[in-house]
Chains A and B, each alone.
Chain A
């Protein structure tokens, strides 16, 4: 595409972290704007219309999750969260507020860039959705409702199929238990995340080579699930 340089806004109060993240992004051809407070970040997102926002959860003048909730009112820009907190509830809060992905400090630059690419790809591909989605050796034809693994058709139950559909629609993005339950079962089952585990297990049995060591349908422990097109670490 003949777009100008993609724009990223980095909201982080630690200058050293800003420094290397900026270096990594610029190395891949991004134009990066920095902000160190929630207030400043909101102004930047509003005025610069970025293609990506990277935000730290613990900012001096407020909570990053609040910022995400604000932004989600008027923008669908991909948001990646950086968190120094060990507690999973903070991540879930940020994701439920509308963040697309998260990374726990300390994180590797390579990992960050992989997430950035995945999220950007999704936000771009939304516009040119193809009915056939492929991950690994699995091919999902959403117009014909046919799932094939290594060429052989796989039978999915309606729930499994719907679950897979939600994951594909949000590929690369961490979906919290709440979001998945709401999307598949409706608002009534929002407290029964064990349903999710059972059907995720079924999906893995049917679509993964080794269900115990999945490569595409990944678990984010105590947070949610994520579908990735490329196997991690390869």
Chain B
């Protein structure tokens, strides 16, 4: 049990990544703690070494920042011209991805991996360009400053007080083939700075002064070294995995980042990502949508989605949960997915109050209560002095949101508030005549009923208003003194309170129920759509049906424009007719080739109006689904994304099924056709042979059965017999040709002795050869050769017959064979009149004969059959002149490796055969 068995899943992963890596270029990143460490210089030095080794090195982009020694290192290296991208009236120079792919160097230098490309570029980030370059099999050298690493972004911001906008996903850094740390002590860096060797943009000079402080530099250096150490640890683990050096089977634990609605969600995500990276385990990020949060303002919801997106880029599995109780939903999710550790945000006062409500527990405490077996890590509060633009914006949005309160969506809300007024008026009007009959208590009850009714139908706000109005009406019209708010009996204060409380509670409950019902309805709709779609697809038998039901179902399910792009005959995607507006076939093809989503809200060309989803089926990518949602935000919601993925894989599987159904149908048709052809051919062969047999037999009977015939008659009888035999050969040739032409021939290859086949071939044409002598010269050590004996015998027989047919009876025929290189060469030569000049190449065509009209029988099929058979064996047949001046027909067969024959020693002891 404790034996170090490699986990099969990991093995598979490794195989897959090895496979992925096989055709990929290698990425080496030079990493430094800060600008000025000398990364670019180190990279250029490595490039020069590569040039010295004969590698084709090209500079994609290198920022020299006017440093003389760096500029000197650039000298002597080939350089791609930069691409000019017009942006706001200026031209920005960017790395030219297409030029690099077209140039295909052995090694490409791309500085500043975290750089953001100018708007309108293919990818928003340079590292994505580099991915493409690597995918094309080109090795890349690049550079990176530690503060640009995504997961360290906020840590660096905390240290140096500057938040970097250009970030690199950790996955790129972690999956890079090599990372080289370019390290320089803080003092030396400061000295360099003083000497003007570190580039500082003029507009950032003040910030730079703040940045290049010794404390900052030391902290950054430590950060970089630590991150390097993490990566090294990863390398060590990978190595151990690869070598299966593992003593303990680690249970696959994972972290769960709980994203709240506040600005600290981002911090939770980054911290969890860092932690997960350090522990080398997977992690999830979830957001729990509660009825209260459902009403949160749009900006806040957008931020949650953005946070989840960030988590996805940091390679988390994300989900949006729904439930009335945050903690319960989290614990359930954690248990379900075997996540033992939850990472949660800092405690935060509810509703802007300065202290937490005593009865309103923090979710973290709640989780600790209902999931006692789970570990909870609570992230500290972000430093308030950190200038975090997104944070403050979020807070502003929040306070605005609380001010705006519930009635967020206009008109329908207002009508909801008319109902309580109406209800109060009607109740009062109805009860007025009955005021003498009913006890005030019962009247209060009826008013309470009105409040409950409003609460059930209209929710919490109107319920509160109804409670207020009903209490007022009750007081005004039914409690003495009538038409006065003055209350004599303090009892009624309690009545008001209860009515208000009941209204609010019922309203709250109803709102919760309604929320749950709405979520359930949503889920039900999703499931139903999925079910209906799966049912439609399973009924589809043709590609068009799949396209049609995809179009109708998806556009109704997602309320968006849907286009299914399928590959044509040349495997390139085909633009549908009419071409939809804004659809880019280039992006679709890229998504298809790279097996990655592209377009709207992805990393690749996010400005495109369409999202392109590759349809990945088990065997291959079957096409691309292009979808243009009415609301671009829609695709950010993880549930919708997952729904889209599910649809995509359903479509892909349906397409694949349809494809294989087609293949199966064609195969069946082919098999049926072949069966028919074969039965036809063998029936013809049988039906022709039978009368020929009768003819030959009866002719011979004439000759043998008394009375004896005269010599003249005997000759005629023999002539009949010979012609019948000849006709039989002709028919056999025709049928064979038909069989070969239709491709129905299957070679029964075995290791054969050529000598044996030559013997039978000569035997079979003995009659046609007549008095012509055949000399066979074979080398004594001729190996066995793999061929179909019947067919090669036919070739030899046809060649011999051909030689006999076109030569006088005194001709000598030589049959010889030799091993030449990897081929066996067999030649049938004669000393006859030779081939007609200029016809040698056409000799093997069908129905070609030496003389177009001659008395020699035959239709010229023999040599055509020879060529077809030899070709099928992978050999070659040709005609030429023999040494004796006659014709020489030569064919070759591949020699191969004959099987070993055991010596006599292995003879088993058998009972003597008498």
Residues of A in contact with B (beta carbons under 8 Å apart): 14, 16-17, 19-21, 23-24, 27, 58, 84-88, 105-110, 129, 157-159, 162, 165-166, 169, 183-186, 188, 192-195, 197-198, 200-201, 204, 210-214, 218-222, 232-233
The reply to whether A221 and B753 contact each other, CB–CB distance below 8 Å, is no
Cβ-defined partner of A213 (8 Å) among B685, B697, B748, B776 = B776
Tell me the residues in window 680-727 of chain B with beta carbons closer than 8 Å to chain A beta carbons.
682, 685-686, 689-690, 692-698, 700-701, 704-705, 721, 724-725
Residue of A nearest to B792 (CB): A221
Cβ-defined partner of B759 (8 Å) among A106, A158, A213 = A213
Cβ-defined partner of A106 (8 Å) among B696, B701, B704, B790 = B696
Cβ-defined partner of A105 (8 Å) among B690, B698, B778, B907 = B690
What are 7 contact pairs spanning A and B, CB under 8 A? A23-B704, A86-B732, A107-B697, A194-B752, A197-B784, A201-B755, A212-B762
| Chain B interfacial residues counted at CB < 8 A | 53
Cβ of B829 to closest chain A Cβ, rounded Å: 15
The reply to whether B682 and A233 contact each other, CB–CB distance below 8 Å, is no
Known A-B contacts A213-B759, A214-B759; A194 and B751 likewise in contact (beta carbons under 8 Å)? yes
The reply to whether A105 and B789 contact each other, CB–CB distance below 8 Å, is no
The reply to whether A14 and B686 contact each other, CB–CB distance below 8 Å, is no
Cβ of B902 to closest chain A Cβ, rounded Å: 8
* A211-B758 Cα distance, complex, nearest whole Å: 10
Tell me the residues in window 744-794 of chain B with beta carbons closer than 8 Å to chain A beta carbons.
748, 750-753, 755-760, 762-763, 766, 774, 776, 778, 784, 789-790, 793
The reply to whether B776 and A210 contact each other, CB–CB distance below 8 Å, is yes
The reply to whether B756 and A86 contact each other, CB–CB distance below 8 Å, is no
Question: Is B910 located at the chain interface by the 8 A CB criterion?
Answer: yes
Cβ of A140 to closest chain B Cβ, rounded Å: 13
Cβ-defined partner of B756 (8 Å) among A17, A158, A219 = A219
Leading 4 A-B pairs by shortest Cβ distance: A212-B776, A20-B697, A194-B751, A109-B700
Question: Is B218 located at the chain interface by the 8 A CB criterion?
Answer: no
Question: Is B899 located at the chain interface by the 8 A CB criterion?
Answer: yes
* A204-B757 Cα distance, complex, nearest whole Å: 13
Residue of B nearest to A15 (CB): B694
Known A-B contacts A58-B686, A166-B913, A193-B750; A24 and B704 likewise in contact (beta carbons under 8 Å)? yes
> How many contacts A-B (CB < 8 Å)?
148
Cβ-defined partner of A108 (8 Å) among B700, B705, B907 = B700
Cβ of A8 to closest chain B Cβ, rounded Å: 16
Residue of B nearest to A196 (CB): B753
Known A-B contacts A162-B910, A165-B913; A109 and B701 likewise in contact (beta carbons under 8 Å)? yes
Known A-B contacts A17-B694, A86-B735; A106 and B908 likewise in contact (beta carbons under 8 Å)? no
Cβ of B540 to closest chain A Cβ, rounded Å: 43
Q: Which residues of B contact A162 (CB under 8 A)?
A: 907, 910, 913
* A160-B763 Cα distance, complex, nearest whole Å: 24
Cβ-defined partner of A159 (8 Å) among B758, B774, B793, B904 = B904
Question: Is B728 located at the chain interface by the 8 A CB criterion?
Answer: yes
Cβ-defined partner of A17 (8 Å) among B697, B815, B910 = B697
Question: Is B855 located at the chain interface by the 8 A CB criterion?
Answer: no
* A198-B785 Cα distance, complex, nearest whole Å: 11
Cβ-defined partner of B748 (8 Å) among A23, A218, A222 = A222
Known contacts A84-B693, A197-B756, A212-B759; 14 further A-B pairs (Cβ under 8 A): A20-B701, A24-B697, A84-B686, A87-B682, A106-B693, A109-B697, A194-B899, A198-B901, A200-B756, A212-B762, A213-B763, A219-B756, A221-B793, A233-B766
Question: Is B914 located at the chain interface by the 8 A CB criterion?
Answer: yes
Cβ-defined partner of A27 (8 Å) among B697, B705, B763 = B705
Known A-B contacts A14-B690, A158-B907; A110 and B700 likewise in contact (beta carbons under 8 Å)? yes
Known A-B contacts A105-B693, A107-B693, A198-B784; A169 and B914 likewise in contact (beta carbons under 8 Å)? yes
Cβ of A206 to closest chain B Cβ, rounded Å: 13
Residue of B nearest to A211 (CB): B755
Cβ-defined partner of A186 (8 Å) among B698, B904, B910 = B910
Q: Which residues of B contact A211 (CB under 8 A)?
A: 755, 759
Cβ of B322 to closest chain A Cβ, rounded Å: 67
The reply to whether A221 and B913 contact each other, CB–CB distance below 8 Å, is no
Residue of A nearest to B687 (CB): A84
Cβ-defined partner of A222 (8 Å) among B685, B762, B778, B790 = B790
Known A-B contacts A158-B907, A200-B756; A84 and B696 likewise in contact (beta carbons under 8 Å)? no
Known A-B contacts A86-B685, A106-B728; A194 and B901 likewise in contact (beta carbons under 8 Å)? yes
Cβ of A170 to closest chain B Cβ, rounded Å: 10
Cβ of A161 to closest chain B Cβ, rounded Å: 10
Residue of B nearest to A57 (CB): B686
* A19-B701 Cα distance, complex, nearest whole Å: 9
The reply to whether B692 and A105 contact each other, CB–CB distance below 8 Å, is yes
The reply to whether B685 and A85 contact each other, CB–CB distance below 8 Å, is yes
Q: Which residues of B contact A220 (CB under 8 A)?
A: 760
Known A-B contacts A84-B693, A194-B784, A212-B778; A109 and B704 likewise in contact (beta carbons under 8 Å)? yes
Q: Which residues of A contact B758 (CB under 8 A)?
A: 212
Q: Which residues of B contact A84 (CB under 8 A)?
A: 685-686, 689-690, 693
Interface membership of chain B positions 138-155, coded 1 if the CB is closer than 8 angstroms to chain A and 0 otherwise: 000000000000000000
Q: Which residues of A contact B763 (CB under 8 A)?
A: 213, 218, 232
Known A-B contacts A201-B753, A213-B762; A105 and B689 likewise in contact (beta carbons under 8 Å)? yes
Tell me the residues in window 787-807 of chain B with beta carbons closer than 8 Å to chain A beta carbons.
789-790, 793
Cβ of B768 to closest chain A Cβ, rounded Å: 13
Known A-B contacts A106-B689, A162-B913, A185-B908; A200 and B759 likewise in contact (beta carbons under 8 Å)? no
